[in-house]
Structure 1
Amino acid sequence: MTEVPQLETPFDEVLNAFAELGDDADPTRVELVTSEILGEWWEADDDLAAGLIDLAERTARPERLVAPLAALRVLATDAGQREAAALALEKFGLPEPAWAARLNQVTPGECWRTTDVYGDESSVVVSFGDHGLVVSINYGSFGGWVSDAAIVESPREVLADLRAVDESVTSEEISQEQAYEVIADAFAGTEWQAEPEVGEDFVRFRALALARLRTLPEPPEADAPEPLTVEEQAEIIDSFFAAAAGELGDSEDARVVALRLIEFGMEHDPRRPLRAGPAKLESFVDFVDDGQIELTDEQDAAMAALLPVWARVFGERDGLPEDALTALVEAVEDRLDDREPEAESALDVYLAGSEGLPPDEVQDLLERRQFALPSLTVETEDDEVELDPSDPGQRRVLVLSEFAAEFDDDEPDLRAVALTTVVDQLWDGEPAETWAAAQRLTAAGLERDEVLAELTAVLEDRLVAGEDGDLEFDLDDYVAALDELDVEPED
């Protein structure tokens, strides 16, 4: 039997992958392998580069680290780590693979940018001779962020495909400095997010895309956009409600929502804070739903009415063509329709499963369940917790909480079992005789707790231990006893 070598460190799998590449591997293959490995560790929220650099300071086998450190010297996404990898290699003083000096030795060429009609989605294509870099950017939030990135064989074909997706997509050739600025800013927007929704290609090509980005010339630092003043914001809100007259009520709650939209625009789309696009307005709703933008219930209701009108007014202001404007409003309405439903009211909980019943049966179901469980909450030391009575376990907690003073916590209580079973029967409506008996006793003048005590006593007298030790009862005998259960009406 062949012995399986044991891993000496968490990095042995990575070290073995570089060993398999060999000294004469194609530099592009080394770049792709390194980028994919770095991406896997990045996705797992681990820092491979930092770990290997730390290992270099204490390893007894430095020759195993030469290849990965040579790759990290060029492809690590952190400048400090690239420098640390270079210093470690210098300290080792060992021969490097033939490919080491050829990593990221590319010359950038033409750069293009495509943009959809709203300014929500953009792609930047950079040619490097025999291959290209394609970066997809979402401008819905975070000032724009990279949603995907890939190294492609034919950048011109990719550009043609991007143009063919939608005839409303515009494309333009941009300078290398512009390409650097757009891509760098978008990568920053991705890194700001705790869990960015990126594609699989982004994970694989992230490190290599950032390395290719570093071959582009950096532009002079641009001035930050001037934020809208308080007076300008007020004027925008006034003009919006004037434009929306007849479609939307001018209320204080609606004005707060309009203000939050402007603030969102200044933070997440600072150069075009009033731009209206599906991704941007959908992101606003996402931020509201996630609690990152706080609205009262009244303001939230106002948002549902205001947002489609906001999309139309500012879409027209942006000069969107009619079909794009219609699609924008529909996208916003669809996002509002898809919002998580509000938490069920107590009435909804009691009426669960009543769909299709005639009105008199719905009313009977409601009365029966409210009799079984008048309250759906239990008191804790610090709070009041609402439970789900449709769950038998939570239903029992509600019952035992209500009657806690009557039961011994240390000993199984036959009466507790009988009581919770009676409540189950009342909630489910089976057997029907349980509710019929409860109604007769109530009509005779008994209070709810007295009625439950009578029903519980009937069942408790019939509970016996089965062969498996579980308590059981004869249903026919129990139903017959319920039918006979009655008291004289009070005068």
Structure 2
Amino acid sequence: MSAMTEVPQPETAFDEVLNAFAELGNDADPTRVELVTSEILGEWWEADDDLAAGLIDLAADTAEPERLVAPLAALRVLATDEDQREAAALALEKFGLPEPAWAARLNQVTPGQCWRTTDVYGDESSVLVSFGDHGLVVSINYGSFGGWVTDAAIVESPQDVLAELRAVGESAEIAPEQAHEVIADAFAGTEWQAEPEVGEDFVRFRALALARLRTLPEPAEVEEPEPLTVEEQAEIIDSFFAAAGDEVGDTEDARVVALRLIEFGLEHDARQPLRVGPAKLESFVDFVDDGQIELTDEQDAAMAALLPVWARVFGDRQGLPEDALTALVEAVEDRLDDRDPEEESSLDAYLTGSEDLTPEDVQDLLERRQFALPSLTVETEDDEVELDPSDPEQRRMLVLSEFAAEFDDEESELRAVALTTVVDQLWEGEPAETWIAAQRLTESGLERDEVLAELTAVLEEHLTYDEDGELEFDLDDYVAALDELDPGAEDE
């Protein structure tokens, strides 16, 4: 234990809190008391260690109740949990001891004007509430979780802060009820996250900000937005591909990505599920990379081609100015470029030589090559080694490694040659009939290994030795045989 950092015991933390309130004294400025209390509660919140409940429980059997009066009076107003506020009030009532002069003046403020500023995309918003000589400013990110507070602070000059906010976004005065609703919803979005990325001010001012929030009038009950029906989602996807034209291939994988984008919008931005902005679309990619949104490799590749077009199409429908639209597409492309190169290395290997292809042809190439070689690694005695499938020799090693058990005798040598040749044909896309036959067999219900066995058998029948002992086959006869492959022949 001596080599480790010792974690302070609750009693030690309580002593520090009691000493801090003792130093404040009975005649401290109420705002000073609020700030001290908020900082203490913020430290406990950040450490995910709610000692407020323990401090309140301490009142039941303390031998020094007078030391607990001040912190309990502060928790009665500033504790972020309603049950804790009520428990602190009940403990004080049982003590029946005099309270500090500042106790009755905590959070005794009157909200004044409220303003809200928003960036052009609707991604970032700030709400400012004036309380006379000070204000509460809350920064909100609408990229996910229906909006969440990234920072909050008590400021001394609301008008100066308002001028700064107006310099970076459109602003409008809002009713206190609306300010309450927006801030409360955003705080809920922050609390839903296990490890929200918030600023230092948020930690310090969180409890005080929530206390000020409770002084705002409650909003009227707001109806939940109607979710998009399956039919409406399908229409949105159809209209997107119609607007995208040749910029993105209308494939099954691309349509799955479009559906996931709509679902993401419905879950995280329910009132504006189709709204696009850098933070929102970057959050979508983050969720994909974190595995919270599951995509196959093919769908992931489709996302890389689709997302910038999605941003442009829906940004245009959103009415974004041209410069904002350009910046949005660039931000999305930058986020896609920043993805972990280790995660993309295998995908890049499959896409070798695809630079001049259309998005639809890229999708077909990726599907074809991943069918030919689902894995690019071979196992050695000590490790797994990733090979380069664009190298014919390394491609052959991948095939022979996967089907090693089938090539354990001399009679299987011809079959091995035929199989590696079929895989070469699928990788290169020549002749095209090989992939067409593979797709036809797959659609009939055959598994990949069964499809490869069928194709290999056809080629093996057409392999002959030339005068020099080299294997060859007549391409026209082979292609004709592939065309004649009937998936249902065996069933008949």
- For the criterion TM > 0.5, the same-fold answer is yes
1:142-161 to 2 correspondences below 5 Å? 142-161=145-164
| Aligned with residue 102 of structure 1, among 101, 105, 119 | 105
- Aligned partners of 1:243, 1:180: CA distance in 2, in Å? 39
Residues 50 and 250 of structure 1: CA distance in aligned 2, closer, same or farther (over 3 Å): same
| Aligned with residue 13 of structure 1, among 16, 20, 32 | 16
1:47-76 Cα shifts (integer Å, max 9, x gaps): 121111111112111111110000000000
Contact 1:73 1:86 in 2 (8 A): yes
Residues 57 and 377 of structure 1: CA distance in aligned 2, closer, same or farther (over 3 Å): farther
Aligned residues: CA RMSD: 2.0
The answer for the alignment partner of 1:68 in structure 2 is 71
Contact 1:104 1:211 in 2 (8 A): yes
Q: CA deviation at 1:376?
A: 4.5
- Aligned partners of 1:200, 1:309: CA distance in 2, in Å? 37
Q: Which amino acid aligns with 1:150?
A: A
TM-score (norm 2): 0.69
How many residues are matched? Answer: 350
The answer for the alignment partner of 2:179 in structure 1 is 179
Q: CA deviation at 1:339?
A: 0.6
The answer for the alignment partner of 1:307 in structure 2 is 307
- Aligned partners of 1:98, 1:10: CA distance in 2, in Å? 25
Q: CA deviation at 1:377?
A: 6.2
1:257-296 to 2 correspondences below 5 Å? 257-296=257-296
The answer for the alignment partner of 2:84 in structure 1 is 81
1:28 is the counterpart of 2:55: no
Residues 97 and 305 of structure 1: CA distance in aligned 2, closer, same or farther (over 3 Å): same
Q: CA deviation at 1:374?
A: 7.9
Where do 4+ consecutive residues of structure 1 move more than 6 Å?
Answer: none
Q: Which amino acid aligns with 1:223?
A: E
Q: Secondary structure at the match of 2:48?
A: coil
1:317-342 Cα shifts (integer Å, max 9, x gaps): 00000000000000000000001123
1:56 is the counterpart of 2:63: no
Contact 1:377 1:387 in 2 (8 A): no
Q: Which amino acid aligns with 2:178?
A: Q
- Aligned partners of 1:302, 1:73: CA distance in 2, in Å? 54
Contact 1:23 1:99 in 2 (8 A): yes
The structure with more radius of gyration = 1
- Aligned partners of 2:53, 2:21: CA distance in 1, in Å? 17
- Aligned partners of 2:318, 2:101: CA distance in 1, in Å? 55
* Greater Cα shift, 289-298 or 336-345: 336-345
1:404-430 Cα shifts (integer Å, max 9, x gaps): xxxxxxxxxxxxxxxxxxxxxxxxxxx
- Aligned partners of 1:207, 1:374: CA distance in 2, in Å? 56
Residues 127 and 307 of structure 1: CA distance in aligned 2, closer, same or farther (over 3 Å): same
Q: CA deviation at 1:116?
A: 0.3
Residues 212 and 314 of structure 1: CA distance in aligned 2, closer, same or farther (over 3 Å): same
The answer for the alignment partner of 1:129 in structure 2 is 132
The answer for the alignment partner of 1:41 in structure 2 is 44
The answer for the alignment partner of 2:428 in structure 1 is none
The answer for the alignment partner of 2:446 in structure 1 is none
Contact 2:10 2:51 in 1 (8 A): no
- Aligned partners of 2:80, 2:120: CA distance in 1, in Å? 33
Q: Secondary structure at the match of 1:173?
A: strand
1:335-374 Cα shifts (integer Å, max 9, x gaps): 00001123466x99xxxxxxxxxxxxxxxxxxxxxxxx98
Q: Which amino acid aligns with 1:197?
A: E
Contact 2:107 2:211 in 1 (8 A): yes
Q: CA deviation at 1:8?
A: 5.1
Contact 2:233 2:262 in 1 (8 A): yes
The answer for the alignment partner of 1:232 in structure 2 is 232
- Aligned partners of 1:129, 1:7: CA distance in 2, in Å? 38
The answer for the alignment partner of 2:325 in structure 1 is 325
* Greater Cα shift, 218-227 or 319-328: 218-227
Contact 1:114 1:172 in 2 (8 A): yes
The answer for the alignment partner of 1:412 in structure 2 is none
Contact 2:378 2:385 in 1 (8 A): no
- Aligned partners of 1:377, 1:208: CA distance in 2, in Å? 61
The answer for the alignment partner of 1:399 in structure 2 is none
- Aligned partners of 1:57, 1:286: CA distance in 2, in Å? 47
- Aligned partners of 1:99, 1:30: CA distance in 2, in Å? 8
Q: Secondary structure at the match of 1:24?
A: coil
1:56-97 Cα shifts (integer Å, max 9, x gaps): 112111111110000000000000000000000011111110
1:440-479 to 2 correspondences below 5 Å? none
Q: Which amino acid aligns with 2:191?
A: E
Contact 2:379 2:385 in 1 (8 A): no
1:90 is the counterpart of 2:98: no
Residues 249 and 12 of structure 1: CA distance in aligned 2, closer, same or farther (over 3 Å): same
Q: Secondary structure at the match of 2:304?
A: helix
Q: Secondary structure at the match of 2:136?
A: strand
Contact 1:70 1:89 in 2 (8 A): yes
- Aligned partners of 1:253, 1:316: CA distance in 2, in Å? 24
Q: Secondary structure at the match of 1:11?
A: helix
- Aligned partners of 2:33, 2:136: CA distance in 1, in Å? 17
- Aligned partners of 2:15, 2:338: CA distance in 1, in Å? 47
- Aligned partners of 2:54, 2:205: CA distance in 1, in Å? 20
Q: Secondary structure at the match of 2:180?
A: helix
The answer for the alignment partner of 1:164 in structure 2 is 167
1:421-436 to 2 correspondences below 5 Å? none
The answer for the alignment partner of 1:367 in structure 2 is none
